[in-house]
Amino acid sequence: MNSAFDPVTIVFLLLAVFVIYRLRSVLGQRTGNEPTRMNRDRPAENGNVIPLAPANEPRGPVQNASPAPDRWKGVAEPDTPLAAGLDAVAGADPGFEPKSFLQGAKAAYEMIVLAFARGDRKALRDLLSKEVFDGFVAAISERESRGETVESTFVSIDKAEVTDAALKGRNAMLTVRFISKIITATKDSSGAVIDGALDKVSDVTDIWTFSHDTGSRDPNWRLVATEAGQ
Per-residue pLDDT reduced to its tens digit, 19-67: 444 434 333 333 343 333 333 333 334 444 455 554 444 444 444 455 6
Q: Residue 223: pLDDT above 70?
A: yes
Lowest mean pLDDT among 12-21, 24-33, 80-89, 98-107: 24-33
- Residue 32: predicted pLDDT: 40
pLDDT tens figures, 157-207: 999 999 999 999 999 999 999 999 999 999 999 999 999 999 999 999 999
> What's the CA gap between 230 and 226, in Å, rounded?
13
- Residue 164: predicted pLDDT: 97
Sign, CA torsion 68/70/75/81: positive
Give the 3-state secondary structure percentages of the chain, helix then strand then coil, rounded to 5. Answer: 35, 25, 40
Q: Is 62 left (phi over 0), alpha (psi -120 to 50) or beta?
A: beta
Give me the mean pLDDT over the 118-132 stretch.
Answer: 95
> What's the CA gap between 228 and 230, in Å, rounded?
7
Average pLDDT, the chain: 80
Give me the mean pLDDT over the 70-93 stretch.
Answer: 93
